[in-house]
């Protein structure tokens, strides 16, 4: 395997499937099978999921709600998604641990870096919920921060599209896909890969990012085994 330890970032919206809201059980089961395959192949897997399928703090703020309150509600949404994924994984025999940046003793462990690393070393899939535990930070930033803390080899950003394009491929048929980019090229081209805080953290800590289509069966396994899938952003 090319990567020994990965941080997989999934969007909450991806869990909706064709629904307008909530969680599509078929998508959830498919993601669980993809994760199981790479975990059983010996890759150490940590996961961060967004909460946009349930609640988005920034949209609540636009509607007049207090931004901090909205962001905390968004963090709780990520915990709901994390619990759903944990359940789907354990249903198919994958040992998992859920760690939260906000204390919820009855539901999950509190995030402790050393404990998270130990779980990974023992072959458990670790899911990080509740973002960074702080308002004004996205789950992209949470994924990057956790990736750096656990010394992941790469951030794998699973999306609905198969890489980074010069234009939105869902809106523009003439959009051109990039096979690979440097961090500086992403800045220069003003491409929307992650929010700027997360992206800068990756650059400063020399943590590569791969954007790929998580909905295509087998993509995750191909990626970790070193095949060219999606778009690589590196130094």
- For 47, the domain range is 5-234
Cα distance between residue 56 and residue 61, in whole Å: 9
Per-residue pLDDT tens over the stretch 91-106: 999 999 999 999 999 9
Nearest alpha-carbon partner for 228 in 31, 2, 38, 10? 2
pTM: 0.95
Pairing of β 177-178 and β 164-165 = antiparallel
Q: How many domains does the chain have?
A: 1
Ordered DSSP codes for 46-111: EEEE--TTT--HHHHHHTTS-HHHHHHHHHHHHHHHHHHHHHHHHHTT--EEEEESS--TTT-EEP
- Which CATH number is 92's domain given? 3.40.1160.10
Per-residue pLDDT tens over the stretch 115-162: 999 999 999 999 999 999 999 999 999 999 999 999 999 999 999 899
Cα distance between residue 71 and residue 56, in whole Å: 7
């Amino acid at each position: 395997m090319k990567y020994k330890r990965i941080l997989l970032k999934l969007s909450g919206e991806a869990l909706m499937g064709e629904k307008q809201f909530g969680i599509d059980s078929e998508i959830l089961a498919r993601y669980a099978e993809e994760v199981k395959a790479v975990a059983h192949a010996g890759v150490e897997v940590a996961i961060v999921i967004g909460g946009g399928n349930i609640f988005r703090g920034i949209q609540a703020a636009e509607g007049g709600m207090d931004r901090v309150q909205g962001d905390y509600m968004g963090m709780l949404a990520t915990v709901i998604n994390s619990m759903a994924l944990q359940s789907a994984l354990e249903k198919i025999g994958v040992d998992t641990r859920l760690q939260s940046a906000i204390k919820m003793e009855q539901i999950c462990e509190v995030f402790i870096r050393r404990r998270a690393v130990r779980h990974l070393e023992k072959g458990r899939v670790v899911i990080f919920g509740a973002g960074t535990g702080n308002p004004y930070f996205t789950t992209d930033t949470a994924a990057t921060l956790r990736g750096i803390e656990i010394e992941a080899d790469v951030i794998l950003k699973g999306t609905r599209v198969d890489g980074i394009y010069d234009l939105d491929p869902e809106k523009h048929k003439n959009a051109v896909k990039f096979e690979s980019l440097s961090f500086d090229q992403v800045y220069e081209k003003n491409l929307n890969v992650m929010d700027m805080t997360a992206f800068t953290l990756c650059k400063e800590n020399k943590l590569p990012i791969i954007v790929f289509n998580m909905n295509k069966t087998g993509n995750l396994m191909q990626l970790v085994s070193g095949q060219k899938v999606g778009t690589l952003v590196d130094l």
